[in-house]
Amino acid sequence: MRLALAAVAGLAGAVALTGCADSAFFDPGTPPSPEETIRIVPHNGAHGVRADGRLEIRVPQGRLERVEVSRTGAAGRQRVAGRISPDGTVWRPDRGPLHLGATYTVDAVALDGRGHRSVRRTTFRTARPVHHLTGHFSPQGDATVGTGLIFSMVFNRPVADRAAVERAVTVTARPQVEVAGHWFGRRRLDFRPRDRWRPGTVITVRLRLRGVKAAPDVYGTQARTVRYRVARDQISTIDAARHTMTVRRDGRIVAVLPVTAGDAENPTYNGRMVILERHSVTRMDGGTVGFGGEYDIADVPHAMRLTRSGTFLHGNYWARPEVFGGVNTSHGCVGLRDLRGGAPDTPAGWFFGRSIVGDTVVVLNSPERTVAPDNGLGGWNLPWEQWRAGSAVR
């Protein structure tokens, strides 16, 4: 009897043990914490995250169901675009770098390998840049330009990592042509194709400088896209010896106008120049360009700037009519006959009304040297291979 009872007791024990084993097999147990299920970089509460820091949401097991990332900064609250990988294990932003001086918020939902759903929210702050890098350029917005336009950016601070900055500025064209950058020192970056743009070309400039490290403690701030449409092809050739300007539109001569160029002491630059800006009227003060008090004219009409150093092609109402086409009398500018206040039916008014920023002006037969490539948009005077050699990106 005792043996039988012992056998029953042993069986009961065996059944009890088996029952415990089955319970352990089917009980999913305590689910892992959200921190274990969803790994987020940078970590929650991180401060001073660099612009090139990694932003990533990952699950070691299971898959991500939903991820929303936003940033709050000077521009308010904005969603950060990104995507979950096809296998559902990782989320990354569509583009970098991170915006500096911003607070990022991450909301993620995931299923682990055993079907447990986890929800996690984290925040982190990026570093505040010590110095901002900004590039100034013109025209600022979408504009119609001439075939000679060179896109030129002048930065507010010296750039140490020129390759990083140049990669963050892309200039493309439709129809497609090769476009190359060229640095003039550490503050100026220009872009141009081998030859002048074809009429009808659409030029797209994408600035992705926000967060780009340009120098120690210096980061870019710009993120925008600008487009230009190239108009008809106009080239105006000034013969300083003959005192004439021949205007060609799409290869055809449309006018030959009498001019007065720089005199023997102040000759006009030779070479290819580009109209940088246009003014119906402007003041010209010799003191601003090294001529002291030799002249100060408050109402120069129909003025078009050709160089940063002060060369203009402008209307002239103060010279005698026989000067135009007969003698060079200026301090380096090129003058066209005009009336005080500017008249549309004078040579200066006619030319001003048919010119736009980006049109090409060529000066020949002047005793002066060729204009420097960084004086205005004089880069067309550099051979293509020499231009390309000025790029920091190889």
Question: Residue 28 above 80 pLDDT?
Answer: no
pLDDT score recorded for residue 78: 92
The amino acid at residue 369 is: R
Question: Residue 386 above 90 pLDDT?
Answer: yes
Supply the CATH classification number for the domain 131-231. 2.60.40.3710
Domain ranges across the chain: 34-126, 131-231, 234-378
Question: Residue 289 above 70 pLDDT?
Answer: no
0.85 cut: is pTM over it? no
Confidence of residue 23 (pLDDT cuts 50, 70, 90): very low
- Give exposure, 126-150, as e/b (b: 16+ Cβ within 10 Å): bbebeebbebebebeeebebbbbbb
The amino acid at residue 380 is: W
pLDDT score recorded for residue 245: 98
**What would the mean pLDDT of 301-330 be, rounded to a whole number?**
96
pLDDT score recorded for residue 175: 97
Question: Residue 11 above 80 pLDDT?
Answer: no
Cβ 325 vs Cβ 259: under 8 Å: yes
pLDDT score recorded for residue 295: 65
Higher-confidence position of 286 and 264: 264
The amino acid at residue 52 is: D
pLDDT score recorded for residue 287: 65
CA distance 390 to 384: 10
The candidate with the shortest Cα–Cα distance to 80, out of 66, 94, 59, 100, is 94
* Active-site choice (99, 243, 302, 314): 314
β-strand pairing of 277-285 with 296-305: antiparallel
* Active-site choice (99, 182, 331, 333): 333
**What would the mean pLDDT of 291-298 be, rounded to a whole number?**
72
Confidence of residue 18 (pLDDT cuts 50, 70, 90): very low
Annotated catalytic residue 131:
no
The amino acid at residue 85 is: S
Question: Residue 301 above 70 pLDDT?
Answer: yes
Question: Residue 13 above 50 pLDDT?
Answer: no
**CATH 2.60.40.3780 matches 34-126:** yes
pLDDT score recorded for residue 294: 67
Cβ 119 vs Cβ 146: under 8 Å: no
pLDDT in tens, 265-288: 999 999 999 999 999 999 887 666
β-strand pairing of 277-285 with 223-230: unpaired
Per DSSP, the residues of 270-313 read: BEEEE--EEEEEEEEEGGGGT-TTS-EEEEEEEEEE--TTS-EE
Helix (H, G, I), strand (E, B) or coil at 381: helix
pLDDT in tens, 321-332: 999 999 999 989
pLDDT score recorded for residue 297: 86
Residues 6 or more apart whose Cβ sits within 8 Å of residue 165: 133, 155, 159, 189, 209, 212, 214, 220, 392
Higher-confidence position of 181 and 283: 181
Do the domains at 34-126 and 234-378 have one common CATH topology? no
Task: Tally Cβ neighbours within 10 Å of residue 350.
Answer: 19
Question: Residue 5 above 50 pLDDT?
Answer: no
Which one of 23-27, 140-144, 206-210, 345-349 scores highest in mean pLDDT?
345-349
Task: Tally Cβ neighbours within 10 Å of residue 330.
Answer: 22
Annotated catalytic residue 333:
yes
Question: What would the two tokens of residue 50 be?
Answer: 């660099």
Cβ 85 vs Cβ 63: under 8 Å: no
Which phi and psi (to 5°) does residue 354 adopt?
Answer: -115, 15
Q: Contacts from 382-388 at CB under 8 Å and sequence distance 24+? A: 382/182, 384/194, 387/180, 387/182, 387/192, 388/180, 388/182
Question: Residue 150 above 90 pLDDT?
Answer: yes
The domain made up of 234-378 has a fold known as L,D-transpeptidase catalytic domain-like (2.40.440)
pLDDT score recorded for residue 97: 84
Distance in angstroms between the alpha carbons of the first and the last residue of the chain: 96
**What would the mean pLDDT of 85-94 be, rounded to a whole number?**
96
pLDDT in tens, 233-248: 999 999 999 999 999 9
Q: What is the mean pLDDT of the chain?
A: 90
Per DSSP, the residues of 2-67 read: HHHHHHHHHHHHHHHHHHHHHHHHH---SPPPHHHHSEEESPTTEEEE-TT---EEE-SSSEEEEE
